[in-house]
Amino acid sequence: MSLLLGDIAPDFEAETTEGKIKFHDWIGDDWVIFFSHPADFTPVCTTELGYTAKLKDKLAARGAKAIVISADSLEDHKAWIGDIEETQGCTVDFPIIADPDKKVATLYNMIHPNADPKVTVRAVYVIDPNKKIRASIIYPPSAGRNFDEILRLLDSLQLTDGYKVATPVNWQQGEDVIIVPSVSNEDADKLFPKGYKTIKPYLRTTPQPNK
């Protein structure tokens, strides 16, 4: 069964490089970036995990943290961390899930047989503190992800949870946002004291309300 936006992220228990976890307990009250990589000791994954390690403070500032999985053993994960830290100039201090039997990867639809039946694709799930899946992105094993885009997506989700707005194409922090069409002009006057611009009745922009 496919996992859909708004679904509760399946819970599981697993061994990780930071000890055994029960996923929902590990999430706690944080947002989570849960992503898979095809295999340990591979070049693209080495760069991705190195970059993720460098994002720890930026994620923490957003109340978020990362966790990673591949269908490799705990011993391989621990050995590979040394290579990541050496080549990427970082400290890997987020958990990497060992999943050699592919149970968790299968639970999260990370094995795509028509792409490669032996490895996990580059799946990303953004999970909120209520354990709901709020976004998902799937890349093929050959394409490294843009983690700056994942941060941008997280910013958008958190902003639009707090205000009746949506973020336009290529939106970045601090830029104008769109008032959702369900908000009347009368309500918009009250909700957005910075004012707004009406381009079309259904397209109204306003300065980012939390800036």
| Residues belonging to the active site | 45
Sheet holding 19-22, edge to edge: 19-22, 13-16, 96-98, 64-70, 31-36, 122-127, 133-139
Helix (H) or strand (E) holding 82: helix 74-88
- Do residues 178 and 203 lie in contact, with contact meaning Cβ atoms separated by under 8 Å? yes
Give the C-alpha separation, 196 to 11, whole Å. Answer: 42
**Other Cβ atoms closer than 10 A to 29:** 8
- Do residues 116 and 37 lie in contact, with contact meaning Cβ atoms separated by under 8 Å? no
Give the closest residue to 136 by CA, choosing from 39, 128, 40, 54. Answer: 128
Give the closest residue to 139 by CA, choosing from 155, 156, 157, 120. Answer: 120
